[in-house]
Amino acid sequence: MRLSRYFLPVLKENPADAQIVSHRLMLRAGMIKQAASGIYSWLPMGFKVLRKIENIVHEEQARAGHIPIQMPILQSADLWRESGRYDDYGQEMLRMQDRHGRDLLFTPTAEEMVTDIFRAHVSSYKDLPLTLYQIQWKFRDEVRPRFGVMRGREFYMKDGYNFDLTKEDAITAYQRHFVSYLRTYERMGLTAIPMRADSGPIGGDDTHEFLVLAETGESEVFYDDLVTVNTLGNQDVDFNDANQLQGIYDEWTSLYARTDETHDEALFNEVPEDRRRVARGIEVGQIFYFGTKYSESMGANVINDQGKQVPVHMGSHGIGVSRLLGAIIEASHDDKGIIWPEGVTPFHCGIVNLKQGDDEADAACDGLYKALTAAGLEPLYDDRKERAGGKFATMDLIGLPWRITVGPRGLKNGVVELTSRRTGESEELSPEAAVARVVEIYANH
Ligand code: ATP
Ligand code: MG
């Protein structure tokens, strides 16, 4: 993309109403525009990152064997009356009527809808296990929408639902989600720590939240510092291998990590003092096992191998796709702007032309642009007639992890400059070598 042809409405001034850095930077970098309280339009660069995050979620869901579907945003209240949640959910649920006076609601989550699909089409244990998921807009009429996309009213969420014959199988599904989520966040360049949590209005027996540590996080968390260095890394996970999943799950949950809802001071004090941490975190996902809560109230049964009708065991699992943009920025920025991890960056590499209109500089930039594009990467070429300082400030603000700077002086010596946004370090290389370096960096992303 050439910046002169893109739509990147950056703001010069700090928006007054944005209290936290990610909200401020998303507005300044022209990623979102507020439409109403807690409701946003996604401008091109914000939309691009949203799609990148969404794609990672889809790829990791596929890897775990989960099947994508799409359920409606507007749902009939009658379905929610069956589970009893139409009355229980309270004011966070946005309710409305159609022209015939029928009650509808804007989906805040979709346990009822997916259970209705299941009971209509699945009747035998032979069709299990089954996990269906969607990535869909949700609406919750939050009392205090704030921090931009972090606590919106309209937000984008992956919600998945597992159906299993036995509790044991459902626990395997729970652990499969646990490991799959670890992979998902790692690919986004995030450290998201699974913490034992409280199940709240969804109800249930077992639940973990995944939290990104940040001072601006809304949850208080208590953990053993060793959990922060745990990674799956390149570990080869077989999502069909229940023993391996259990092993990874046990390893991660053996260290103390809890939110304030389940915090246990006595247990926490067993962690060596120098490793005990009390901090704040942003919830970017949550997994639940809740057994037969919905299948019993809504009649979602299967016939087991003894020919007996039994309610299925279920769980639900959510990732805050739109909230993740805020969380990633909270975890990765400096005073100049965003620093995107390679896995989610809107463009792979910036190209800054120091002397637009100079034949040689223009030709070199065009060459770099073509070569990067041919290698399957997306460069963002700042081809505007602007001063170098302004171009650098824009690149730093929007946070592309790599930048190639091209100017007549360097070209005389046959070099361009490759700069890391994260470290600020630069290297002089021939244009060909710079392209090769960038291609190599992205080979693993
Ligand atoms: P919270 O405690 O932050 O209100 P929740 O526990 O009610 O969230 P879940 O039902 O677990 O939310 O939803 C799954 C994920 O969706 C959460 O982990 C979070 O990342 C995201 N999410 C929930 N509410 C919002 C919101 N208002 N705005 C943006 N993302 C949200
Ligand atoms: Mg939650």
CB atoms within 10 A of CB 215: 10
Give me the residue label for tokens 């992205």.
Answer: 442
Asked if residue 205 has pLDDT above 70, the reply is no
The H or E element containing residue 55 is: helix 44-63
- Topology (CATH) of 3-338: BirA Bifunctional Protein; domain 2 (3.30.930)
Render pLDDT for 220-262 as a digit per residue (tens, 0 to 9).
999 999 999 999 988 999 999 999 999 999 999 999 999 999 9
Provide φ and ψ at 151, rounded to 5°.
Answer: -130, 80
CB atoms within 10 A of CB 308: 10
Atom of ligand 1 nearest to the CA of 157: 16
Handedness of CA 343, 344, 347, 350 (dihedral sign): negative
Does the Cβ of 286 fall within 6 Å of ligand 1?
yes
Domain boundaries, the chain: 3-338, 349-443
Structure tokens at 389: 């300082």
Write down the pLDDT at residue 398.
98
Render pLDDT for 388-436 as a digit per residue (tens, 0 to 9).
999 999 999 999 999 999 999 999 999 999 999 999 999 999 999 999 9
How far apart are the CA of 286 and the centre of ligand 2, in A?
5
Residue whose CB lies within 8 A of the most ligand 1 atoms, among 93, 323, 330, for a mutation test:
323
How far apart are the CA of 150 and the centre of ligand 1, in A?
9
Asked if residue 204 has pLDDT above 70, the reply is no
Does the Cβ of 138 fall within 6 Å of ligand 1?
no
Taking the C-alpha atoms of residue 260 and residue 245, their distance in angstroms, rounded to an integer, is: 27
Provide φ and ψ at 375, rounded to 5°.
Answer: -85, 5
Q: Please write down the HEC assignment for all residues of 338-374.
A: ECCCCCCCCCCEEEEECCCCCHHHHHHHHHHHHHHHH
- Topology (CATH) of 349-443: Rossmann fold (3.40.50)
Residue whose CB lies within 8 A of the most ligand 1 atoms, among 40, 138, 143, 157, for a mutation test:
157
Please report the beta strands in 140-218, taking only residues with DSSP state E, as ranges in sequence order.
154-164, 192-196, 206-213
Burial category of 351 from C-beta neighbours within 10 Å (exposed 0-12, middle 13-18, buried 19 and up):
buried
**CB within 8 Å of 27: residues ≥ 6 apart:** 11, 15, 18, 33, 148
Atom of ligand 1 nearest to the CA of 108: 10
Does the Cβ of 155 fall within 6 Å of ligand 1?
yes
Nearest of 223, 152, 171 to residue 192 by alpha carbon: 223
- pLDDT-derived band at 25 (thresholds 50, 70, 90) equals very high
Write down the pLDDT at residue 17.
86
Taking the C-alpha atoms of residue 162 and residue 173, their distance in angstroms, rounded to an integer, is: 7
How far apart are the CA of 288 and the centre of ligand 1, in A?
13
- Interior/surface letters 200-209, b for 16+ CB within 10 angstroms, e for the rest: eebebebbbb
pTM of the model: 0.96
423 or 205: whose pLDDT is higher?
Answer: 423
Does the Cβ of 343 fall within 6 Å of ligand 1?
no
Render pLDDT for 276-330 as a digit per residue (tens, 0 to 9).
999 999 999 999 999 999 999 999 999 999 999 999 999 999 999 999 999 999 9
How far apart are the CA of 220 and the centre of ligand 2, in A?
14
Structure tokens at 378: 């997306």
Atom of ligand 1 nearest to the CA of 210: 18
Does the Cβ of 323 fall within 6 Å of ligand 1?
yes
Taking the C-alpha atoms of residue 93 and residue 71, their distance in angstroms, rounded to an integer, is: 17
Rg (CA), the chain: 24
Q: Mean pLDDT across the stretch 258-272?
A: 95
Does the Cβ of 142 fall within 6 Å of ligand 1?
yes
State the DSSP code for 35.
E
Render pLDDT for 32-85 as a digit per residue (tens, 0 to 9).
999 999 999 999 999 999 999 999 999 999 999 999 999 999 999 999 999 999
- The region that residue 132 occupies, defined by phi over 0 for left and psi between -120 and 50 for alpha, beta otherwise, is beta
Write down the pLDDT at residue 123.
95
Taking the C-alpha atoms of residue 237 and residue 232, their distance in angstroms, rounded to an integer, is: 9
Render pLDDT for 80-135 as a digit per residue (tens, 0 to 9).
999 999 999 999 999 999 999 999 999 999 999 999 999 999 999 999 999 999 99
Q: Which ligand approaches the C-alpha of residue 285 most closely?
A: 1
Nearest of 305, 329, 436 to residue 372 by alpha carbon: 436
Taking the C-alpha atoms of residue 140 and residue 134, their distance in angstroms, rounded to an integer, is: 17
Render pLDDT for 334-380 as a digit per residue (tens, 0 to 9).
999 999 999 999 999 999 999 999 999 999 999 999 999 999 999 99
Does the Cβ of 152 fall within 6 Å of ligand 1?
yes
Atom of ligand 1 nearest to the CA of 140: 27
Write down the pLDDT at residue 181.
98
Does the Cβ of 259 fall within 6 Å of ligand 1?
no
Q: CA neighbours within 13 Å on the CB side: how many for 394? A: 22
Write down the pLDDT at residue 202.
53
| Length of the chain (residues) | 445
Bridge partners of 424, per DSSP, are: none
Structure tokens at 287: 């997994």
Render pLDDT for 419-430 as a digit per residue (tens, 0 to 9).
999 999 999 999
Write down the pLDDT at residue 16.
86
Does the Cβ of 157 fall within 6 Å of ligand 1?
yes
Asked if residue 203 has pLDDT above 60, the reply is no
Amino acid identity at 112: E
How far apart are the CA of 210 and the centre of ligand 2, in A?
9
